Chain A
Amino acid sequence: MRNAIATLLLGLAILLPVGAVQAQDGPLRIEITDGVIEPLPFAAPDFIAESPAASQYATDIARVIAADLVGSGLFREIPKVAFISPYSDFDAAVNFTDWKAINAQALITGAVSVAGDRVTVRFRAYDVFAGQELGSGLQLSGTTEGWRRIAHKVADTIYSRLTGEGGYFDSRVVFVSETGPKNDRKKRLAIMDYDGANVQYLTNSDSIVLAPRFSPTGDRVLYTSYESGFPQIHVLDVGKVQRRILSSGDGTMTFAPRFAPNGRTIVYSQTEGGNTDLYSMDIDTGSSQRLTSAPSIETAPSFSPDGSQIVFESDRSGTSQLYVMPTSGGEARRISFGQGRYGTPVWSPRGDYVAFTKQNAGRFHIGVMRTDGSEERLLTASFLDEGPTWSPNGRVIMFTRETQGANGQARLYSVDISGRNLKPVKTPDGASDPSWSPLQN
């Protein structure tokens, strides 16, 4: 099994700018805070291959960068057929007039060289109408096998320069891969790049596996497996593909595990006598603590990014609703008050929103609300949408959508928190329960 992280060591160097820097009123910036936005048009000619061995990478890297930017819904690529002047020299001054003429507001150029199993990418981004470079040119290098990660890092840099926000392209998703009919579904853990590339399987399909979650550093995954015959929580080292069970009480059901931001404490559900409550555990020592003691269902916890609070779902009011409580337990405050049932709350990495699943009038929705429950907005609607997970920058939500009927199948979808740009995520088979990693290092 390949391990992209272990084999990819990225070098980073600042290139000297080309030509004179001109004054302008303000940097080229796309405002994505609210409302409908017009995607910003950019041109991304194939990168220059500095040797024959680099030519395929030069084309492919430019394509991945463009796909990342277009996929965000914030950018529009100007097709190559519209280009006026050929782009053939990374170090030559840019002819802005020709790019202005086709209304390319941003221009991305690059050059790729290959030496042995190392690939090096130099790139620059330009504000065409200001006639100047956006930030400094950069150089990244890594293994040829990890070329997609280099492309994602370039795209993240450009995204950040144009939006003022962190990127999310150099990230991965752990999920449950599903095959087989609805009444005999086989499930196994899988991991892939955020865009569906480089799928690897982490478990076999002998036991049901559910709801994986990344650690805060993306190196481990918590999940629930029926390997023992009962649902019990496990932790898996992604690099080594080693796993161990975290709870060993015979016949005790544990599930819905989530990491705290410290990467050492977890919170999860445990069922005793048919009643499900929340517990926390130090996964190094194994010592656990009960957080809730109610006859109702308490599950689907999620930590605030500062680790001080937990949002979770409970049906203590009679229907499933969202509550926030201190990490150590104690009094919980209800935050969902709309019509219907609320579940699977997930605190955003920026701390500003809670994403959730909502069930109302026979439909499922993915929505977001402020952490005090205000400003609820529904982003999707279908027969069955559930289980949101946040992109590392808190801009995009990925979730499971399952279609109706005997041939119903689960797929991953993503949507911008504005509700725009809803689209399927490419996976080889059915897929559910995505968990988005932080940005990779």
Chain B
Amino acid sequence: MSGINKAILLVAGLALAACSDARWDDTNSGSGGAALGAGGSLADPSSPAYFREAIGDRVLFLIDQSSLTPEAQGILAGQARWLTANPDYIVTIEGHADEQGTREYNLALGARRANAAREYLLSQGVAGHRIQVVSYGKERPIEICSDESCYAKNRRAVTVLAGGAVS
């Protein structure tokens, strides 16, 4: 099992080398066990790896905003298509904020962002019972510098897959 996973990870890593933006190893998504591991091959369109990397598991937000940009809507539409094609998966959308803002406000802001992503998936036909939301506020930054280049990546809603066909 572990040998296979390592091989899959290597393939996923190679496939990503050409893709500048994506982070295939987001260990800080914070869901604590709900997320799947390597999630299969990127070459397999029904794999979680494909969902994360080819479709994109996250959308980004403007400062103190929770409305979806056209780019974010495109990513979420892709997520919705994938979830429709892979009905065994459920998701948790994790909303996050950058460090500009007080702790509790940012919790509420992260919830708004996660919910905006959820509403979009619902509008694209994904069933509500498949989508949970949680906010981490500013508690789980993935980038740690204190300027806009990092803040922009921290203001995010990440769609984390769980369950699924692991047979």
Chain A interface (Cβ < 8 Å from any Cβ of B) = 181-185, 187, 208, 210-211, 226, 229-231, 251, 253, 255-256, 269, 271, 273-276, 297, 299-300, 313, 315, 320, 341, 343-344, 357, 359, 383-384, 386-387, 402, 404-406, 408, 432-433
Contact = CB atoms under 8 A, between A and B. Distances in A.
B25 to A, nearest CB: 13
Contact of A183 (B101, B135, B141): B141
A320 B111 contact: no
Interface residues of B, number: 36
Given A297-B105, A297-B108, A387-B103, A230 B141 contact: no
Given A210-B103, A274-B115, A343-B102, A406 B145 contact: yes
B104 A256 contact: yes
Contact of A182 (B102, B132, B141): B141
Contacts of B143: 183
B105 A343 contact: yes
A183 B108 contact: no
Interface of B: 28, 30-32, 34, 66, 99-105, 107-109, 111-112, 114-116, 118-119, 132-136, 139-146
B135 A231 contact: yes
Nearest to A298: B108
Contacts of A226: 32
B139 A405 contact: no
Given A208-B30, A211-B103, A359-B101, 13 more contacts: A183-B143, A251-B133, A251-B134, A256-B104, A256-B107, A271-B111, A271-B135, A313-B102, A384-B99, A387-B103, A402-B99, A404-B146, A405-B145
Contacts of B145: 405-406
Nearest to A276: B108
13 contacts: A183-B140, A183-B144, A184-B28, A208-B139, A226-B32, A229-B34, A251-B133, A253-B107, A276-B107, A299-B108, A300-B102, A406-B144, A408-B146
B146 A405 contact: yes
B116 A274 contact: yes
Given A230-B134, A384-B99, A269 B28 contact: no
